[in-house]
């Protein structure tokens, strides 16, 4: 539709479709639209911001025949801020320092239990359903932040870029089920909710946790960082047991 | 604000450097998070300020970045479009394995945390 509007001026479309500015703007506009929809649904967890914005953008890219590489040339400026945002997690962590220090034992224990459950369950279920080695290995690090997950997947014989896609899917799914699951388990301690969010669904879960409560966000940041480190240590140890 | 961003970028850069220099199995930004945390702890001790007190510009920059954390995941998430075929061919396995495992990991983490935190207080 958009190309036909400016069809009399093909050179305009060539400029727009290849300019990073277009795809940067599209990302922001899609996010604003997704945010409005999320607000209209009273921030219902099933209406996930990341999933909705992603869907809108993929529809736009497919409609205009634009490749992910062309899109990413613009979107990378937003993607770049993920690194500094991860560093910035130190701030809510420090603001909750007293609480974190007082709960060091529950943090360490829930981290160890959650990390093993996250790895073993996904590999066991995938193998039970007859998944190939490549698929099972790509799934194993699904709960950790994508730079760590990609490296681990490669070491196990998985497909690193498939892992990135699975990591994002895990994050979005985790963000959607966080509130309903915690309600079902009758857990209302923001620290416990944050730990669960960050451990099982990394930064996307942490983003959802920040929507719930800043303490939940702080604990999600801790869980995400520590689970990334812990998974990269225990996954190679569990590897023979998992048959990977 | 510029000082705050220089500090945050500096922590990331130092993190990236240390990770590469010592071949650590961690992404640079995650180490950068621990470095910034360490810097805040050290400063808190010297300045005599109460624990949890963050310099205003750093606090504002961090709140700005983290307030829009969802947006920052969108470009990577759009990358899903490249794997539609592979994802579709294994859809049932992937959906079941991902969803059940995520529920189990979340429940196990929250349950363990509550069990131990509950018995402390």
Domain boundary among A56, A80, A104: A80
- Given a contact cutoff of 8 angstroms between Cβ atoms, the answer to whether B67 and A210 are in contact is yes
- DSSP notation for chain B: -HHHHHHHHHHHHHHHHHHHHTT-SS-HHHHHHHHHHHHHHHHHHHH-PPTT---HHHHHHHHHHHHTHHHHHHHHHHGGGGGHHHHHHTHHHHHHHHHHHHHHHHHHHHHHHHHHHHHH-
Are A30 and A151 in the same domain?
Answer: no
Residue whose C-alpha is closest to residue A162's, from A144, A138, A146, A134: A138
A123 burial type by CB count under 10 A (0-12 exposed, 13-18 middle, 19+ buried):
buried
pLDDT digits (tens, 9 = 90+) for A155-213: 899 988 899 899 999 999 999 999 999 999 999 999 999 999 999 999 999 999 999 99
Predicted local confidence at residue A191, as pLDDT: 96
- The per-residue pLDDT for B120 is 44
Q: Which of A28, A57, A80 is the last residue of a domain?
A: A80
The pLDDT, as a whole number, for residue A99 is: 85
Report chain B residues whose CB lies below 8 A from the CB of A79: 72, 75-76
- pLDDT(A70) > 90: yes
> Measured between beta carbons, which residues in chain A are less than 8 angstroms from residue B92?
129
CA distance A202 to A188: 20
Domain match, A131 and A229 both? yes
Which residue range is the domain that position A146 belongs to?
87-242
- Nearest Cα neighbor of A189 from B74, B1, B111 is B111
pTM (two decimals):
0.85
- Do residues A163 and A153 lie in contact, with contact meaning Cβ atoms separated by under 8 Å? yes
Residue A12 has pLDDT above 50, yes or no: yes
d(CA A145, CA A151) in angstroms, rounded, equals: 11
Put simply, the answer to whether A164 touches B27 (Cβ < 8 Å) is no
CA–CA gap between residue A141 and residue A163 (Å, rounded): 8
Left (φ > 0), alpha (ψ -120 to 50) or beta: where does B27 sit? Answer: beta
**Band of residue B49 on the pLDDT scale cut at 50, 70, 90:** low
What is the number of structural domains in chain A? 2
B26/B104: higher pLDDT: B104
Alpha-carbon gap, residue A120 to A241, rounded angstroms? 9
**pLDDT at residue A2, as a whole number:** 56
The predicted pLDDT at position A3 comes to 56
- Domain boundary, last residue among A62, A80, A98: A80
Residues A97 and A184 in one domain: yes
Q: Please tell me whether residues A216 and A189 are part of one structural domain.
A: yes
| Interchain contact A69–B (C-beta under 8 A) | no
**A75-132 residue pLDDT tens:** 999 999 989 998 998 998 898 888 888 999 999 999 999 999 999 999 999 999 999 9
A194 touches B: beta carbon within 8 Å? no
Q: What value does the mean pLDDT take over residues A134-158?
A: 91
pLDDT given for residue B115 in this prediction? 95
Total residue length of chain B:
121
Chain A neighbors of B86, CB-CB under 8 A: 159, 162
- Chain A residues 200-239 within an 8 A CB cutoff of chain B: 200-201, 203-204, 206-208, 210, 217, 221, 223-225, 228-229, 232-233
CA distance A193 to A162: 28
- Percent of chain B at pLDDT above 70? 91
**Are A148 and A109 contained in the same domain?**
yes
pLDDT band at A232 (very low <50, low <70, confident <90, very high): confident
Mean pLDDT (chain B) is 88
CB contact under 8 A, A54 and B69: no
Average pLDDT over residues B72-90: 89
Are the Cβ atoms of B12 and A87 closer than 8 angstroms?
yes
Mean pLDDT of chain A: 92
pLDDT of A5: 59
Are both A68 and A102 inside the same structural domain? no
Say yes or no: A105 and A152 in one domain.
yes
Q: What is the pLDDT of residue A104?
A: 94
What pLDDT was estimated at residue A115? 98
Q: What is the pLDDT of residue A37?
A: 96
Q: What is the model's pLDDT at position B95?
A: 95
Q: Residue A144 has what DSSP assignment? A: S
- Based on the domain organization, do A25 and A117 belong to the same domain? no
Tokens of A15: 């400029």
Residues A163, A189 within the same domain? yes
- Rounded to 5 degrees, φ, ψ at A19 are -75, 130
Length of chain A: 244
Residue range B90-109: average pLDDT?
Answer: 97
Answer whether A137's CB lies under 8 Å from B59's CB.
no
- Look at residue B121 and tell me whether its pLDDT is greater than 70: no
Instruction: Indicate if A20 and A110 belong to the same structural domain.
Output: no
A174: number of Cβ within 10 Å: 30
**CA angle, A54 as apex, A214 and A40 as ends, to 5°?**
60
Given a cut of 70, whether residue A133 has pLDDT beyond it is yes
A88 touches chain B (CB under 8 A): yes
More confident residue, B120 or A14: A14
Q: Quick one: pLDDT band at residue A62, thresholds 50, 70, 90?
A: very high
Taking an 8 Å cut-off on Cβ atoms, the answer to whether A165 and B83 are in contact is yes
A105 and A222 belong to one structural domain? yes
Query: In this structure, what token pair is assigned to residue B51?
Result: 């624990």
Q: Provide the token pair at B92.
A: 């049932």
| Same domain? A194 vs A74 | no
CB pairs under 8 A between A and B: 320
At residue A6, the pLDDT reads: 58
């Amino acid at each position: 539709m958009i190309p036909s509007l400016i069809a009399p001026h093909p050179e305009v479309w060539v400029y727009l479709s290849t300019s990073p500015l277009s795809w940067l703007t599209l990302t922001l506009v899609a996010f604003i639209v997704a945010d409005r929809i999320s607000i209209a649904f009273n921030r219902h967890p099933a209406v996930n911001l990341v999933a909705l914005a992603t869907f809108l953008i993929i529809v736009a890219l497919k409609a205009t025949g634009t490749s992910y590489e062309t899109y990413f040339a613009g979107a990378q400026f937003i993607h770049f801020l993920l690194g500094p945002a991860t560093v910035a997690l130190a701030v809510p962590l420090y603001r909750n320092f007293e609480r974190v220090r007082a709960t060091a034992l529950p943090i360490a224990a829930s981290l160890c239990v959650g990390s093993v459950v996250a790895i073993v369950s996904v590999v066991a279920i995938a193998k039970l359903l007859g998944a190939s080695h490549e698929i099972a290995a790509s799934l194993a690090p699904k709960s950790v932040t994508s730079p760590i997950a990609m490296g681990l997947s490669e070491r196990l014989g998985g497909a690193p870029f498939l892992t990135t896609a699975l990591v994002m899917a895990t994050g979005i799914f985790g963000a959607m089920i966080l509130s309903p699951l915690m309600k079902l388990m009758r857990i209302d301690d923001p620290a416990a909710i944050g730990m669960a969010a960050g451990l099982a669904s990394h930064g996307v879960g942490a983003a959802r946790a920040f929507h719930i409560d800043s303490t939940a966000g702080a604990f999600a940041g801790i869980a995400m960082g520590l689970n990334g480190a812990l998974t990269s240590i225990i996954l190679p140890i569990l590897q023979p047991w998992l048959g990977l | 604000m510029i000082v705050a961003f220089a500090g945050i970028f500096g922590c990331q850069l130092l993190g990236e450097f240390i990770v590469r220099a010592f071949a650590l199995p961690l992404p640079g930004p995650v180490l950068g998070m621990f470095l910034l945390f360490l810097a805040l702890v050290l400063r808190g001790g010297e300045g005599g300020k109460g624990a949890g007190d963050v310099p205003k510009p750093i606090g504002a920059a961090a709140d700005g970045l983290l307030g829009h954390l969802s947006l920052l995941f969108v470009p990577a998430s759009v990358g899903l479009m490249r794997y539609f075929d592979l994802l579709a061919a294994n859809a049932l396995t992937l959906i079941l394995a991902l969803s059940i495992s995520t529920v189990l990991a979340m429940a196990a983490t929250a349950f363990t945390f509550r069990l131990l935190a509950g018995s402390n207080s």
